[in-house]
Amino acid sequence: MIRVLVVDDSALMRRLLARSLEQEGDIQVVGSAADAYQARDLLVQLKPDVITLDVEMPKMNGLELLRRYMPVLPTPTIMVSAVTGQGSELAAQCLSAGAVDVCTKPEGSVGEHGFDGLRDRIRTAAKAKLQRTRAQGPTRTAESMRAHPETLVVVGSSTGGVQALDLFLRQWPKMAPPLVLAQHMPTGFTAGLARSLAERTGLDVKEASPGEHLRPGLVRIAPANDHHTVVVRREGQYALEMVGGEKVCHQRPAVDVLFDSAAKVAGRHGVGVLLTGMGRDGAAGLLAMRQAGAYTIGQDEASSVVYGMPRAAKELGAVDLQLGLDHIVPHLLARLAAEAGPRGDHQENRSKAS
């Protein structure tokens, strides 16, 4: 039984959440709170397995509450937020502060089925292995990265990924090969995520735009919408396109689709990084990249919030090397600089998956 604490200032929303969550018998709502102060007391008293936390509340918003309890009592937390205005911005900041997922509030009149998708998110969150928040973790030691001019870096992540991306990008040089990210999020939240990461890291981070040419120094995030983001070649440069199609691994955009496109257009000049997340999305695409000559990295189990996607990639033989989150960017800095030597040749000695 997964024990859940529901936090929302709306009594109606608390009732709907509780009724929806308890439908299938493996989730029990052990308490509900109308504001952050009630939530703080119940969190200490009940020690729930998972918290659903409203983003916008009176007295103290969800972000401030999260920042207060996560360092001392880390608990898997799912933000429940509106997709417009300040709610989406705060939700992105909450994910960077340690929340593992975000769920959208249904619009208009909703019944007990309005939060059906939240049950699976809670089951995933209950398995999360939280790290104590590391807001001041390693930061960049270089402003630029030596690399082959055709180098392209693609990164995929899901549950726990926003906090992982925050650390990754705070280490990432401001002038580095173009980087394209696919992070599983509901529609409406990736723009806020891009703005939050840009502010926190000082990098040129934005949502990907169709037809945009990629150049060094750019970091682009695949929009959470009805299309997949892919990389293509146009006028001798990498460019972004959005393509239709069914969901892949239950996701759109999917990491697999992004990685597959990188395998085709970048080949041995590609770098694929698969970070924390539930499921298998990205594993097959990372294998395609490795088979095309790209260098591939998976986040290790010890530093992953959910060791699902990296595990699947390792078991598939898609990973050259597994590393802790703190060590991925420093390793790439050294490796790409070595490859950009006098000849710029791609090294053929492949590290074995550990």
Residue 266, pLDDT above cutoff 90 = yes
pLDDT tier, 187 (very low <50, low <70, confident <90, very high otherwise): confident
Residues 265-283 have a mean pLDDT of 97
225 or 282: which leads in pLDDT = 282
pLDDT tier, 144 (very low <50, low <70, confident <90, very high otherwise): confident
Question: Quick one: how far is CA 43 from the chain centroid?
Answer: 26
Q: What is the pTM of this model?
A: 0.88
Residue 134, pLDDT above cutoff 60 = no
303 is catalytic: no
User: What integer pLDDT is reported at residue 89 of this predicted model?
Assistant: 78
Within 10 angstroms of residue 239's Cβ, the number of other Cβ atoms is 16
pLDDT tier, 110 (very low <50, low <70, confident <90, very high otherwise): low
User: What integer pLDDT is reported at residue 85 of this predicted model?
Assistant: 59
- As a whole number, the mean pLDDT across the chain is 89
Residues 137-163 have a mean pLDDT of 88
Residues 170-196 have a mean pLDDT of 93
Domain ranges of the chain: 2-126, 152-339
Residue 188, pLDDT above cutoff 50 = yes
Residue 333, pLDDT above cutoff 70 = yes
Within 10 angstroms of residue 16's Cβ, the number of other Cβ atoms is 21
Catalytic residue among 158, 261, 303, 304: 158
Residue 346, pLDDT above cutoff 60 = no
137 or 255: which leads in pLDDT = 255
pLDDT tier, 92 (very low <50, low <70, confident <90, very high otherwise): confident
User: What integer pLDDT is reported at residue 308 of this predicted model?
Assistant: 96
Residues 173-188 have a mean pLDDT of 94
| Range of lowest pLDDT (55-64, 77-86, 322-331) | 77-86
Q: Which residue has the tokens 């599983």?
A: 184
Which architecture does CATH list for 152-339?
Answer: 3-Layer(aba) Sandwich (3.40)
184 is catalytic: yes
Residues 61-73 have a mean pLDDT of 92
Residues 7-36 have a mean pLDDT of 93
Which of 297, 289, 300 is closest to 265 using CA atoms?
289
User: What integer pLDDT is reported at residue 354 of this predicted model?
Assistant: 41
User: What integer pLDDT is reported at residue 351 of this predicted model?
Assistant: 42
User: What integer pLDDT is reported at residue 122 of this predicted model?
Assistant: 95
161 vs 224: CA distance, rounded Å: 14
User: What integer pLDDT is reported at residue 84 of this predicted model?
Assistant: 64
327 is catalytic: no
First to last CA, the chain: 34
Catalytic residue among 184, 227, 228, 269: 184
Catalytic residue among 54, 281, 300, 320: 281
Superfamily of domain 2-126: Response regulator (3.40.50.2300)
| φ, ψ for residue 328, nearest 5 deg | -65, -55
User: What integer pLDDT is reported at residue 145 of this predicted model?
Assistant: 87
Residue 345, pLDDT above cutoff 60 = no
Q: Do domains 2-126 and 152-339 have the same CATH topology?
A: yes
Please report which helix (H) or strand (E) contains residue 265, including its range. Answer: helix 255-266
Residues 236-255 have a mean pLDDT of 95
Residue 112, pLDDT above cutoff 50 = yes
345 or 279: which leads in pLDDT = 279
